[in-house]
Amino acid sequence: MLARGLVRQAGAARLSLHRRPPLVQRLVSTFSRTSVVVPRSVLAAAAAFTIVGAATKYAWSMPPKKKKALWPQTFSCAECGKEGRLVKRKKTKPPPELVRCFSHGASARHRDYVMKPDKAEEAAEALRRTEDAAAKTKASARQAQATRLAHVAAIVKARPRPTEPALAAANAKLAKEIKEGLQRPNPLTHGDGRVCGCNHAINLEAMRRPPAVLQTFMFLCGATPARTKDIVAMPTSWLRHAAALWAVLHAERPGEVDPYAFVGLNALERQATHPDDGARYGTIAAAYDNDEGGRDLPDELRVSVASFDLSEMLLPYLSAKEGRDALGRIENVTVGHVGYTISRFPVELAGRKTVMSVMHMRRQISLPAIDFHPVRGVWSPRMTDDFNRLASLSVPATIHRLIKTCKVDGEDACAIVHAFKMKYGPVLDAIDALLRSKYQRLRAVLL
């Protein structure tokens, strides 16, 4: 309104150029060069913008005005007489008998009547809060510990742990079965184990190719012929390391660790940050106990060395070496693309004969019972006969003895195996072609 009044009084046509504001001068000069008549509304808006900007700049340049206190800002505590200022300023003067210092703030009627703390009171308050947080943490930890103790006690009561004589008998029985399994003439078709449909198809396709093709595929993807009740070999150092972790975890948490959970390689790190999750009784352990007879197989230690690290894999076709490898037996059905497998090993722990159950990947074991040593680039007669027996059993009437599929049998199971053969056959052909080209180059270099 002020700008409009000024424009009306002076008149846009009668204002000289040097008396106009800078923005107005620029607008007038621009329109004058273009021979355009400047509307009065444009000049009024420019003048208003200039006046408002100047007023704002002047207001910000002025120092802020200090409000005068309506009452003295220093109060005295009604209990101890200590002087200080209030934490919050109220519009009305607080009654002196209601003011309290920070130390006696708990007895104040309202928090606005509490004084600001000094340095000593701030330090005491920080220490109190730290102690309260530590006390709450300890209380919650004690409660969680009691919950874990009760949970494990209920598990052991419902499913008692095996005795030392039972473990010694299981050790002797397992060692005998492993020795007999190594001498089995049919490692691929023995009636105690099954595999998934994809591994069965790979084994059928491997019989038509040199042993090096299956060895290379197993090096990349794991032991495809591994079946339930197969004899496996694993480095003794792995078992010692896993047993040490199991002992340390149970020593640090006596009575708090589920004895039927598989203790992993990172169990100590997990229980340091998540005490309730140091060793979990997962779905694989539950399936092993409930669906595959794990409850009837006594063991003292349950550990897991399963890892996706490629540096922790073995050559599945290597023979077991005494003193370096420990022999065990697969107890669960090796089904699934991930390849989690549970094997039992007869071991000696602190001078006692016992049994250790180990969860591992299919690529972390070797199969000493399978003869991978070729005779002039072809399978040995023993393996050739077993491959022929494997093919003769892959018919609708008997295929259920070899594979475990998704609740299908007979013709449907054979169709699944055929589909996997069409999928993995070209892969094995590519490996065969690659190996033949490499062998030819190596032969040319050597000769």
Structure tokens at 139: 């209380």
Q: What is the C-alpha separation between 6 and 48, in angstroms, rounded?
A: 10
Give the per-residue pLDDT at 146: 85
The one-digit pLDDT tens for each residue of the chain (447 residues) are 444 444 444 444 444 444 555 655 665 565 555 555 556 777 677 777 777 777 777 667 767 666 655 555 777 787 787 877 776 666 667 777 777 787 777 667 666 778 777 788 788 888 888 888 888 888 887 887 788 888 888 888 988 889 999 999 999 999 999 988 888 888 888 876 777 788 888 889 988 888 888 888 887 777 788 888 888 888 888 899 889 988 888 888 888 888 888 888 887 777 777 666 667 787 888 888 887 788 888 888 999 888 766 555 566 556 677 778 889 998 886 554 456 889 999 998 888 899 999 998 877 888 887 777 666 667 888 888 888 888 888 888 888 888 876 666 788 888 888 888 899 999 999 988 888 887 666 555 443
pTM of this structure? 0.65
333 near 292, Cβ under 8 Å?
A: yes
Give the per-residue pLDDT at 315: 60
| Residue in this structure with the two tokens 């792995």, named with its chain if needed | 238
Give the per-residue pLDDT at 357: 92
212 near 431, Cβ under 8 Å?
A: no
84 near 75, Cβ under 8 Å?
A: yes
Tell how strand 301-304 and strand 352-361 pair up.
parallel
Q: What is the C-alpha separation between 153 and 428, in angstroms, rounded?
A: 52
Q: What are phi and psi of 277, to 5 degrees?
A: -130, 25
352 near 168, Cβ under 8 Å?
A: yes
Q: What is the C-alpha separation between 265 and 248, in angstroms, rounded?
A: 12
296 near 170, Cβ under 8 Å?
A: no
Give the per-residue pLDDT at 37: 59
Give the per-residue pLDDT at 17: 42
DSSP H helical ranges for 161-266: 164-182, 197-206, 211-221, 236-252
Give the per-residue pLDDT at 169: 93
329 near 229, Cβ under 8 Å?
A: yes
- Name the residue type at position 143: Q
Give the per-residue pLDDT at 337: 47
Q: How far apart are the first and last CA of the chain?
A: 105
- What order of strands is seen across the sheet that includes strand 301-304? 231-235, 325-330, 340-349, 352-361, 301-304
Give the per-residue pLDDT at 127: 87
Give the per-residue pLDDT at 16: 44
User: How far, in whole angstroms, is CA 141 from its chain's centroid?
Assistant: 23
What DSSP state is assigned to residue 320? P
